[in-house]
Structures are given as C-alpha cells and as structure tokens.
Amino acid sequence: MTQWIDVCSVDDLQPDSGVCALIDGRQIAVFYMSQDQAIYAIDNFDPFGKANVLSRGLIGDLGGEPMVASPLYKQHFNLKTGVCFEDESIKVETYAIRTENGRVEIATVS
C-alpha cells in the first residue's frame, strides 16, 4: 500500500536546486524545477562516486529531459527515470513525490 510521508515545507525547497531528505533510513534527493513547478525525488547516493551527494548537483535539462549532474564526476541522471545519460545500464531509484497543503510528501511502498 502506498503511504505518503511528510518531508518538509514547500518553502524549504531551493528553487532549481536540491535538498536531501531522510526517509526510513534512506537518503532521498529532492529537486525543485521552478519554471515547470515540478518536483522530483531520486536516491541521494551517487553510484559512480559512491557518496551521498546527488542532492548537491546542478539541475536543468538535456534534450528536454530533466536531469541532475553529479557534483563529483559530472554524470547526468534523468530526474524522472533515474537512468544515467552516460551509461543507461546504471539507474538510481526514483520516488513518487507530491505537494499537499504546502507540504512536500514522498511515497513509500510498504
């Protein structure tokens, strides 16, 4: 069953940038693309650099697809699918995310 977990206030998000949330012991990077009013949630762990840093990457788009660039070695990850642009065999987890009454919520499946 899908359960929505409260993360933070919408005001805690950084426009066109990321923050990291701790949900059930998992580190999840949350990004806010201001022009699209879109928010995305993916794993914070960088599978290349092996460190919890993706939330601190720069975001934008590549060919129209929203992406984050790892701050360590600059690989790009699709914010919608988690797939790495440079190596499609590498994928980070993505999470359902929404805003409710000014709060950001992430879905966990239990």
Partner 1 sequence: MNTKQKLVVIGNGMVGQNFLQSLAESGIKDQYEVITFCEEPRPAYDRVHLSAFFSGKSADDLSLVPEGFFENNNITIHMGDRAIDIDKENQLVFSEKGLTVSYDKLVLATGSYPFVPPVPGHDRENCLVYRTIEDLEAITAAAKNSKIGVVVGGGLLGLEAANALKDLGLETHVVEFAPRLMAVQLDAGGGAMLKKKIEDLGVSVHTSKNTTNIGDGDNCFHKMTFADGEELETDIVLFSAGIRPRDDIARNSGLDIGPRGGIVIDNQCKTSDKNIYAIGECALWDGRIFGLVAPGYTMARTVVADLADNDASFTGADMSTKLKLLGVDVASIGDAHARTPGAMVYTYQDGAAEVYKRLVVSEDKKLLLGAVLVGDAAGYSTLLQYCLNGIELPENPDSLILPSRSDESVGLGPDALPMSAQICSCYDVSKGDVCEAIEKGCTTVPALKDETQASTGCGGCAPLLKSVLDSELTKAGIEVNTDICEHFPHTRQDIYNLVMVEEIKTFNELLDKHGTGRGCEVCRQAVGSILASYWNEYVLKKEHLSLQDTNDTFLANMQKDGTYSVVPRVTGGELSPDMLIASGQVAKKYGLYTKITGGQRIDLFGARVDQLPGIWSELIDAGFESGHAYGKSLRTVKSCVGSTWCRYGIDDSVGLAVELENRYKGLRAPHKIKMAVSGCTRECAEAQGKDIGVIATEGGWNLYVCGNGGMKPRHADLFATDLDKDTLIKYIDRVLIFYVRTADRLQRTSVWMENMEGGLDYLKSVVIDDKLGICNELEKQMQYVIDTYQCEWKTTIEDESKLKRFRHFVNSDQTDENIVFVEERGQIRPANEEEREQLKLTEEA
Alpha carbons 40 and 29: distance in angstroms, whole number: 8
According to the binding rule CB under 8 A, does residue 59 interact with partner 1? yes
Q: Minimum CB separation from partner 1 for residue 90, in Å?
A: 18
Of the CA atoms within 13 Å of residue 46, those in its CB half-sphere come to: 19
Task: Give the whole-angstrom CA distance, residue 105 versus residue 43.
Answer: 15
Q: Judged by CB under 8 A, which of 4, 47, 56, 108 binds partner 1?
A: 56
Alpha carbon distance 100, 96 (integer Å): 13
> Counting contacts by CB under 8 A, is residue 33 touching partner 1?
yes
Residue selected from 10, 39, 58, 83 as contacting partner 1 according to rule CB under 8 A: 58
22 is an interface residue for partner 1 by CB under 8 A:
yes
**Taking a C-beta distance cutoff of 8 angstroms, is the pair 86, 74 a contact?**
no
Element (H, E) at 5: strand 2-9
Question: According to the binding rule CB under 8 A, does residue 72 interact with partner 1?
Answer: yes
Q: Which positions lie near partner 1, rule CB under 8 A? A: 7-8, 12, 14-17, 19-22, 27, 30, 33, 35-36, 45, 49-53, 56-64, 66-67, 69, 71-72, 74
